[in-house]
Structure 1
Amino acid sequence: MKIQHSETERHVLTVTVDNEAGILARIAGMFTARGYNIDSLTVADISENHSISRITIVTQGPPSVIDQIHAQLERLVPVHKVTDLTEAGPHVERELALIKVSGTGEKRVEALRVADVFRAKVVDTTTSSFIFELTGAPDKIDSFVAIMRELGLVEVGRTGIVGMMRGGTAA
Structure 2
Amino acid sequence: MTREPIPASAYDMDHAEEVEERRTLAVLVDNEPGVLGRVVGLFSARGYNIESLTVAEVDRGKHRSRITIVTTGTAHMLEQIEAQLLRLVPVAAVIDITKSKRGIERELALVKVAGEGDPRVEALRIAEIFRARVIDTTNESFIFEITGASEKIDQFCELMEPLGLVEVSRTGVLSIRRGKDAG
Give TM class, smaller chain. over 0.9
Structure 2 counterpart SS, 1:104: coil
CA distance in 2, matches of 1:23, 1:8: 27
**Of 155, 170, 176, the match for 1:158:** 170
CA distance in 2, matches of 1:5, 1:57: 25
Letter paired with 1:86: T
Residues 65-104 of structure 1 aligned to structure 2 (within 5 Å): 65-104=77-116
Maintained 8 Å contact 1:122/1:133? yes
Maintained 8 Å contact 1:5/1:62? no
Structure 1 counterpart SS, 2:99: helix
CA distance in 2, matches of 1:83, 1:4: 27
CA distance in 2, matches of 1:146, 1:43: 27
**Of 127, 138, 159, the match for 1:126:** 138
5+ residue gaps in structure 1?
Answer: none
Residue 149 (structure 2) aligns with? 137
Residue 41 of structure 1 and its aligned partner are, at CA, apart by: 0.4
- Shifted more, 72-81 versus 5-14: the winner is 5-14
Residue 15 of structure 1 and its aligned partner are, at CA, apart by: 0.3
5+ residue gaps in structure 2?
Answer: 1-14
Maintained 8 Å contact 2:104/2:178? yes
Residues 1-171 of structure 1 aligned to structure 2 (within 5 Å): 6-49=18-61, 51-171=63-183
Distance change in 2, residues 1:50/1:126 (3 Å): farther
TM-score of the aligned structures, taking structure 2 as reference length = 0.88
Structure 2 counterpart SS, 1:88: coil
Deviation track 1:96-116 (CA, whole Å, cap 9, x = no partner) reads 000000000111111011101
Alignment coverage as a number of residue pairs: 169
**Percent identity of the aligned residues?**
56
TM-score of the aligned structures, taking structure 1 as reference length = 0.94
Letter paired with 2:174: V
Residue 7 of structure 1 and its aligned partner are, at CA, apart by: 1.1
CA distance in 1, matches of 2:111, 2:62: 31
Residue 88 of structure 1 and its aligned partner are, at CA, apart by: 3.0
Residue 64 of structure 1 and its aligned partner are, at CA, apart by: 0.7
Maintained 8 Å contact 2:39/2:85? yes
CA distance in 1, matches of 2:139, 2:75: 51
C-alpha RMSD of matched pairs (Å): 1.4
- Shifted more, 135-144 versus 45-54: the winner is 45-54
Letter paired with 1:13: L
CA distance in 2, matches of 1:121, 1:5: 43
CA distance in 2, matches of 1:106, 1:61: 43
CA distance in 1, matches of 2:32, 2:129: 42
Residue 51 of structure 1 and its aligned partner are, at CA, apart by: 1.0
Residue 3 (structure 2) aligns with? none
